[in-house]
Structure 1
């Protein structure tokens, strides 16, 4: 496992803990703005993990595909994912 993968896993674990905390906050009837701030924080960690995973994908899977002349499919995958990220499904 490389550094990016370790960081992605750590971000995912931290966001999991935050989500558990958010659920508890909701169950306890905590102030909506406090809950919303925690959700934003968890989303930020999920985005960070996703970027690290995509970086890993580009540096390894996509690079290897181009070296083996099969990169066009990987480009289509990336374009599809980018469309989801910007909301153009």
Structure 2
């Protein structure tokens, strides 16, 4: 993985903290809207992590693949990823 590991790790730990908070909120039978807001916050952080990883992949792994003559393989990889992201 070529992404900034410190940044990714920090964000994932933040998301883990939010998920732990969500579990506690569910156990405490907290208000639905509050739980939903917390869920959206955790999802936003996970999306940010995914974006960081994808950007690093494009800047490094795909660029490297193109220089090694693996253009079609890397393009197909990105097309499949875009398909997953658009579902």
- Give the structure-1-normalised TM-score: 0.90
Deviation at 1:7, TM superposition (A): 1.6
The 5 Å alignment of 1:8-87 reads 8-87=8-87
Can you give the 5+ residue segments of structure 2 that lack an aligned partner in the other structure?
A: none
Q: Given that residues 3 and 53 in structure 2 are in contact (C-alpha distance below 8 angstroms), is that contact kept between their aligned partners in structure 1? A: no
Q: Helix, strand or coil for the counterpart of 2:4?
A: helix
Moved over 6 A (4+): none
CA contact 2:3–2:56 (8 Å) conserved in 1: no
Q: Distance in 2 between matches of 1:81 and 1:32?
A: 33
Residues 15 and 45 of structure 1 are in contact (CA less than 8 Å); yes or no, is this contact kept in structure 2?
yes
Count of paired positions: 87
Q: CA RMSD in A?
A: 1.6
Q: Given the two structures, how large is their TM-score scaled by the length of structure 2?
A: 0.92
- 1:6 is displaced (CA, Å) by 2.0
- 5+ long unaligned stretches in structure 1: none
The higher relative CO (CA closer than 8 Å, separation ≥ 6) is in: 2
